[in-house]
Amino acid sequence: MKIHVIALSHKIEPWAQLAVDQFQKRFPNDWKLSIKELKPEDRSAGKPVDQILAKEAERIRAAIPAGARVVALDERGERHTSKALAEQLQKWHNSSETLCLLIGSADGLDDTLKQQCQGMWRLSDLTLPHALARVLLVEALYRAFSITIGHPYHRE
């Protein structure tokens, strides 16, 4: 299973990158996790937010691997427990699906893009800074993976 994260962000803080790198290293080759950073649109030009999000959505669509199952991270998305996420990821792993997770910019993701996704997940009821959301996502994916192999990282 390949898991791609497409994130619209400026370079994240070193502490967050270190955490992401540490979790990324823990995945085995058959659970390959890659992160592609896309630069957000310039917000200083006075363009309306919907136009900015539409431009960002074009770049996101171009970066999505062909045939991937696309899931947007959004505050209105579905809540998952670690075990439920593990079960879902295991199903996709067993069917050799490619998963692509989208993290939007400061204003989120374009509504049209979200409607085209096969799912929407929420990481938290809280508003999170981008760097923390990325760390939380990668940790959640690693935790789900560890559950699928019976690794003691996750405890009940």
Q: Which residues are annotated as a binding site for S-adenosyl-L-methionine?
A: 73, 104, 123-128
DSSP state of 12: P
Q: Quick check: 10 and 40 in contact, CB under 8 A?
A: yes
Exposure of 25 in the CB half-sphere (CA atoms within 13 A)? 6
Radius of gyration of the chain (CA): 15
CB 100 within 8 A of CB 116: no
Cα gap 40→109, rounded to integer Å: 11
Question: In angstroms, rounded to a whole number, what is the distance separating the alpha carbons of residues 136 and 130?
Answer: 10
Annotation: binding site: 73, 104, 123-128
Residue 41 is inside which H or E element, if any? none
